[in-house]
Structure formats: structure tokens, C-alpha cells
Structure 1
């Protein structure tokens, strides 16, 4: 495995590591746009951990050369390049994320896919919320932008795609409404062995991690409703997980398998009593799973009762 580093800021206890995974050198202009949005962050210090999937030496060199001008800007972040080159895995997206976690050393942790971007204030706001509340993870929102894919360019149609629906932890326990670049994690609040992605998942891998974090540790949703970036919804479906109604064959089977594993995660993952209390569950106690917490919430607030009814109807 090859590691490369480009000059930039030094590490500190307040460093935010942003893991970016990149698998297709033909998409280099999109990666440049992504990294440009990270260079423009107001928060410092930032360390960009770029993980490539089986790039040749020439492709690694081309990637570094394309990004070098951005990293020569004043006060640019540090960027390290790590080429994941293990054989035998076709879809390595979770392996790339885990490689990024292995490399990251800063207090704060975030993720950004190569084809999405963040607004300049994103990390400043999210880290500020973590410091203010002491939460292990803080969430905001991202705006969904529809993009038409053409041979030599993208055409941004605008925000015609419905945004992700949800506003709090109860909604997250029901369904994932938080894209991977809509939150920042405070690693100092979590055990080190919790931060890993399930390599058996090739979709919903980020949701699985969110369930494990939010079930056991305080989370903050105060910034939900405040956009901190764009999620580019490509009309060719190349970067979007379809719903069950739009799938068939092997893709449908994979989707159903993943959904079964997510349901199992909800049934087997205990919710900390303090998290139960925050959800309005009466008589919080050890051993109550995410699934059971939602069922217990029927005796809590009206909103949580309706949520539990929806989950129980599945």
C-alpha cells in the first residue's frame, strides 16, 4: 500500500480529518471540486485523507498533480494520499473508509464523497456545536441538487429533488436521512473500537455506523435544517442508492439483504439509558435495543408513538 503526502498544516489535538474515497480516475474534475470545497473551509486545522482504489502509479501521480495547485494556496489543509490495493474485493467502498479511519489521527472526523461539496462554514459550525454540547456527533443538513450527466460536462438542474426528510434522533432510528457529509464526529467521546465500517455492507454502511454511535452516545441535531453543503443527485443513478421499487435481479437481492442486516442491527444494538431518556422513553434501563426503544416510546410523546407505530408495522 502506497502512501504519499503533500505539504500543508501540521497535526494538532483540534485537527479535523476528512476521509475522501476515490475509485475512478476519469472523475478527477469532480475530486478537484470536492477538495476545493475543503480548502475553502474556515475551520483549521484540516487533514484530508484521500483513499484511492487500486490506482496505478501513473494514476496516483496524475491525482497528486491535479490537486497540487489547490494545496499551494495560503493556509491550505494537509492532504495525504493512500492507495488501497488489496485484491479479491470488487466493491471496496467500506474498505476505503476503514483505511481512512486507520490513517486518521485528529480529534474530529468527517467524510466527504468525491462528487459532493461543502460550504465554507460547514466544519466551523459543526465542530462549534460539538464543543458547545459535548455530543459525540453533530448533524446538519445538505441540499440535494439534481445534475444531468453528459459525455463531457454536468448540467446542474437545481434543487428539484426532494430533500432528505427527518429532523432528530427518533427519525434517524427509523430511516437514514443524514448523508455521509452532513455530520462531524468527536473521536474523544467514543471508544476507538466503535469507529469502523462493516465490510459486509456495500450500501447503508454509513447508516450502520450512525446507529451504533447514536445508540450509545449523545448526538446533536440542532443544525438540522441548516444546509452545509450539496449532495449532487446524478440523473444517471451512478451515485444514488435506489429504493426497492426501482430495483430487480441481483441489485434487488442485495438491497433486501442489506435491509435485513439493518433491521438486525436495530434489534441487537442496545440504547444507552441516557439516550433512551433523551428520546422520552419511560423507565430507561440497560439492554433495551433500538427496535425496543421505539416500541417503548409508544408511551412517550405523540411524535415518538407515531414513529413506533410505523416501525412496528414493518
Structure 2
């Protein structure tokens, strides 16, 4: 398909029931300084019978502003976010390519800043800084942080962990060849795995400006893991993230070579922690840690640990609550990754549910 000069195709993933996010997303795009925009909305339906009527109504309403807007859909009972991205990429007619989840926010000059820099350089793609915005259950802004910011791009740092969210970058399709598609066997880390392949072949240009926000909400409406999950849901999601990390590590070795394993072994535990929980449990980490410490299950684990420490002549460790949620998150991951916790976690989930009825 022939690409149109200067047009940016923005692939927006959404689902039925998320119409308010899609409507707001398109409204935000109308405020972009860069006006040559082709929104491509890709809807994943869970069943063939799921209605697109509400989404079609939103698209029709914004057609007056985006004359070349596209609406695509597919059906899958499983998480098929990778398929959504590939469908959008196949339909894109613009010189520039970008991705956007329906609940994230881009600032007015985000695309204009990146495209202007790309036009003045030989780089095939560029990315800008992103702010992590956290909202409470009432939709009120709680905090704005910058955990993704780096001084410069480093492929070695990138392969240790992703710091380039999906809506932070733009690709100039006139300057890339055979970049491949999104791996549809992956329903987590799919954009990260794609970016690593892209960066391995084409060095990115870092635009040192904050261009967008990555939104985290505690009401369960995020498209990925929510901090509002029940203990059982949290355990199940954690298992899926572990499986996803194993699959991602396998892809890294396959794509780039054996040496990736050496880098992985040297990666700090706290980096793995922040990647696995996607920054979404940070605000709840101290509370979750306190709940674990006061549980019967933890007292049971502590008993066996004390015996182990005594037999090995090791000093006892106290249960501490760190001052920051980030440090608490590190401790949480250490607990979640232990064999003793994996055995007793289902019992803890039941205990947590029973505690709610007291």
C-alpha cells in the first residue's frame, strides 16, 4: 500500500464498553498541533454478537474532523491486543506510524515535536518522554511521576527493561524496511518486543520533551493489570506476568543472541519488579505489604523461616514497611517470587476474602 506523505496513522486499540475513553481519546487528538492525522480505531470484540453500534456512533461524530478515520474490528475471547496492532499497521496509509491506547493522553505538541525532529534527521523513529499519571477510584489525579525518563537511549538499558511506552514513539515508514509485525503469540510485552527488534536495526532519536501521559487508575478500568484486583485475581495475573516474562526472555535470546542471558542475570531486582507490576501496584504496595504481615499465612511462613535461619546460623530478619511504595513493591515481588508464598498464596487469598466479612 502506497503511503501518503506527511500523514500520521495513529492506531487506537479499544473494546466495546470503553466508549467514554475512545471519545475522549479522539477529542484529545483534535487538539494536536500536527493536523495530518489518520486515526485507525481497532476494536476487539469478545463475541461475534458484541455490538459496535456505540463505537460506530462515536466514529461517525468525529468524521467531520477526521475525514480519513478508519474503524476495524475482530473477535477473540482471549486477549488479542497484538492482533489489533497488526490490523492497524496493515491498514495504515500514512508516512508516519504511531500507537495509542484509548485511555492514554497525548499533549498538543507531541506528534509535531517528534515529526519535526524526524524530518531534520536520518533517524527512522523517535520517542519522547512520558509522565506516569495515577488516578484514584473517583477519577481524581493522585500523582504525576517520571519513572520512564532516561538521560539518553541505550540499547543495553532497553533490553534490561522497557522505558518507552507504546504511545511515546513515532516511526517514519519511508525510512524503515522489513521491520516485521507484532508477535501475536504475545498478549503482554508485545510492543516492547517489537521495539527491541526495531531498535536493534534502527537507532532511535530521543526527543527530550514530555509528550504524553500513561494513565493508571485504581478502579479496574485499565487495559492491563489493575491495582484494584482481588487477591485471587492478583495471584492469577501475577502468574500470567511470570509466563509473559519467560516468553519475552526467550524472544530476546532468539532475536539477539545468547549474550542477552548474561545481561538479564546482571539486571537489578528492582528493575524487574517495576517492569512486572507495570507501575500499577506502586500506590498500593505498602498497604498490601501490611496486609500480608498481619495475616495468619505470613505468620506460618515466618515460623518456618525462623527455623531455617536458626539451622543456618543466620540472623533473623524483621518485617519492615519501607518509607516509599517503590521499596515496598520490591519487597512484595521478593515475597511473591518465593516458593513458600507460591504454595500458600491460594490460602492467603481465601483468608483475605474471609477478613472482609468480619
Q: Report the TM-score, using the length of structure 2 for normalisation.
A: 0.65
What is the correspondence of 1:167-246 to structure 2 with a 5 Å cutoff? 167=151, 168-170=153-155, 171-192=157-178, 194-221=179-206, 223-224=207-208, 226-236=209-219, 238-239=221-222, 240-241=224-225
Residue 268 in structure 1 maps to residue 254 in structure 2: yes
CA contact (8 A) 1:267 1:289 kept: yes
Q: CA RMSD in A?
A: 3.0
Using the alignment, how far apart are the partners of 2:128 and 2:71 within structure 1? 28
Q: In terms of mean alpha carbon deviation, does 49-58 or 127-136 score higher? A: 49-58
Secondary structure (helix, strand or coil) at the match of 1:91 reads coil
Partner of 1:116: 104
TM-superposed CA distance for 1:21, in Å, is: 0.9
Using the alignment, how far apart are the partners of 1:77 and 1:179 within structure 2? 28
CA contact (8 A) 2:109 2:211 kept: yes
Partner of 2:277: none
Partner of 2:326: none
Partner of 1:38: 29
| Structure whose alpha-carbon radius of gyration is higher | 2
CA contact (8 A) 2:130 2:149 kept: no
Partner of 2:147: 163
Using the alignment, how far apart are the partners of 1:138 and 1:165 within structure 2? 14
Residue 92 in structure 1 maps to residue 96 in structure 2: no
TM-superposed CA distance for 1:138, in Å, is: 0.3
Partner of 2:317: none
How many residues align? The count is 261
Secondary structure (helix, strand or coil) at the match of 1:14 reads strand
1:36-85 deviation digits (Å, cap 9, x = unpaired): 11122121321100011127788423213224343324xx4521111213
Secondary structure (helix, strand or coil) at the match of 2:5 reads coil
TM-superposed CA distance for 1:102, in Å, is: 1.3
**For residues 175 and 149 of structure 1, do their structure 2 counterparts lie closer, same or farther at Cα, with a shift above 3 Å needed?**
same
**For residues 112 and 249 of structure 1, do their structure 2 counterparts lie closer, same or farther at Cα, with a shift above 3 Å needed?**
same
Q: Report the TM-score, using the length of structure 1 for normalisation.
A: 0.73
Residue 82 in structure 1 maps to residue 72 in structure 2: yes
Using the alignment, how far apart are the partners of 2:185 and 2:133 within structure 1? 30
